[in-house]
Amino acid sequence: MEKAKNKILWVDDEIELLRSNILFLEDKGYSVDKATNGEDAVTMVRDKNYDLIFLDEMMAGMGGLKTLASIKEIKPNIPVVMVTKNETETLMEDAIGAKISDYLVKPVNPNQILLVCKKFLEGKRLQSQTLSRDYIQELNKINTLMMEPLVYSDWIKINSDLTEWEIELDEHPELGLKETVLATRRECNAEFSRFIERNYIEWIHFKKEGPLFSNQIVENYVIPELETSKSVFFFVIDCMRFDQWLIMEKMLYDYFKIRREFYFGILPSATPYARNSIFSGLFPSEIEKYYPDLFTKGEDDENSKNKYEKEFLQKLLERKKIKLRNDLRYVKILDAEFGRGVESKISGYVTTHLNAIVVNFIDMLVHSRSDNAILKEIAPDESAFRSLTASWFEHSSLFSMFKILSSQKDVKIIITTDHGSIRCLRGAKVLGDRETSTNLRYKYGRNLKADERQVIYIRNPLDYKLPKRGGIVNYIITKEDFYFVYPTDYHYYLNHYRNTFQHGGISMEELILPVIVMEPL
């Protein structure tokens, strides 16, 4: 079937003088209708569908700006290019305010016109072609890189590059690269899991050159800022993936100078371990050893295992001999109403030397999506999850807090997360006794069995600086995008949790995490 021609309407009261330009466009394959006044143009727009309009600014009768307003009332999305002899600033402001798409100054030549047509009529196609070619080249580079011995900084770059490409490709679903993106992530995570398995123990025990970990964030990013006269705000956004941060970051460019770095989360990549590690400056086994009164026993849930973050942070500051000008402020935001209350008071927080603020919304969104069919429908994959994050952040109390702080003097903001999440697509069969923990990406207990190709099996918790929990306890942690399923009602739970976002395992999305430093412009 022959491809339909793009339809152009050219409106000018001296249209015959433009005959050569119109013939030129027709020769290039465009279909061009002509109108000699605004009234006719408005009627034609009402009766036909056009892809692009060239509109003379100075016409007898209904002038260009008035015609433009009438056209936009009928079909607001048609691109309109104003053609004018007048380059005065007020005219341009009026035209831009009336939502012209571009403008040309008379006399116009064929190449100018062709460039505008390609921009508005073929720009998406040309951009898609270039994007597809460049993405394939990027994948070839990554595949070549993974054939070589890699260090942790290579993985940070691979994850960053892939994430930025994924966000770019969100704008071009017509390329049909979704499955390619998913396959690339899966291949990278398989190799990344092997990389973590080979190096993690040496990093945390023998100081082999490696990344910063969760327990080093306060010492490396927060404490240095406390040595200045500034008020420091330390935000920990629970369960925030790097791609989600990039979506949020775009909305902050007008307010802050932003510096972005990365660290690796500890294992397992779950709140009771990672966030306590951030605030205490210790690995979980060290928390169990040095602060047994604060290391509560029981199920790994938000309420029982993260009660003492403020106390952990205070003890860390004491160990580092940091004296604050006034009392540490610690706030945990668990719901929108409480968040609005914090927002209303946050300008007063600038008198406090250190403010630590935990934001739980993304983590709640992740957990709610697992059991909520509507949320699964709204956010079926990573691209949609990013979109949902953008919608939340734009209207959130957190964004409002950042905007309020951007107008304050002598403020420094550090933002990070305790772990990310991954969309789980493959079940890993697991066996365990009744005392086994219930998490889907990691478990601890006494009689654990799983396919060791799908998990890291930790026989001695202290090897990974994990708590012994008063007995002979083993841990298993899933790799890549696996999630645990018991043999009982296997197929039901396999289907129930497939395609849910989970955390606690080993993947780039869960473990390679941003640390952001922001200063008001």
* Of 302, 294, 293, residue with least CA distance to 274: 302
Residue 404 has pLDDT above 80, yes or no: yes
- The tens digit of pLDDT for each residue in 143-155 reads 888 888 999 999 9
Who has greater pLDDT, 454 or 119?
A: 454
What is the per-residue pLDDT for 133?
85
pLDDT band at residue 2 using 50, 70 and 90 as cut-offs: very low
Residue 241 has pLDDT above 80, yes or no: yes
Mean pLDDT of 240-269: 97
pLDDT band at residue 4 using 50, 70 and 90 as cut-offs: low
pLDDT band at residue 181 using 50, 70 and 90 as cut-offs: confident
C-alpha to C-alpha distance for 418 and 265, rounded to whole angstroms: 7
What is the per-residue pLDDT for 178?
80
The encoded tokens of residue 113 equal: 């016109």
Who has greater pLDDT, 429 or 366?
A: 429
Residue 156 has pLDDT above 60, yes or no: yes
Q: What is the reported pTM?
A: 0.84
What is the per-residue pLDDT for 297?
47
DSSP state of 353: S
What is the per-residue pLDDT for 285?
94
At 451, is the secondary structure helix, strand, or coil?
coil
- For 7, 93, 267, 362, 377, the CA distances from 80, given in Å and listed in that order, are 13, 15, 55, 41, 36
Rg of the chain on CA atoms, in Å: 29
What is the per-residue pLDDT for 299?
43
What is the per-residue pLDDT for 301?
47
C-alpha to C-alpha distance for 455 and 465, rounded to whole angstroms: 18
At 405, is the secondary structure helix, strand, or coil?
helix
Burial environment of residue 276 by CB neighbours within 10 A (0 to 12, 13 to 18, 19 or more): buried
At 333, is the secondary structure helix, strand, or coil?
strand
Q: Residues, the chain, total?
A: 521
Residue 462 has pLDDT above 80, yes or no: yes
Residue 89 has pLDDT above 80, yes or no: no
C-alpha to C-alpha distance for 476 and 466, rounded to whole angstroms: 12
The backbone torsions φ and ψ at residue 250, rounded to the nearest 5 degrees and listed phi first, read -55, -35
94 CB neighbour count, 10 Å cutoff: 16
pLDDT band at residue 302 using 50, 70 and 90 as cut-offs: very low
Report percent pLDDT > 90 for the chain.
65
- For 89, 343, 385, the CA distances from 241, given in Å and listed in that order, are 45, 24, 10
Mean pLDDT rounded to a whole number for the chain = 90
Q: Quick one: angle between helices 89-97 and 64-74, nearest 10? A: 10
3-state secondary structure 123-190: HHHHHHHHHHHHHHHHHHHHHHHCCCCCCHHHHHHHHHHHHHHHHHHCCCHHHCCHHHHHHHHHHHHH
Who has greater pLDDT, 434 or 204?
A: 204
What is the per-residue pLDDT for 137?
87
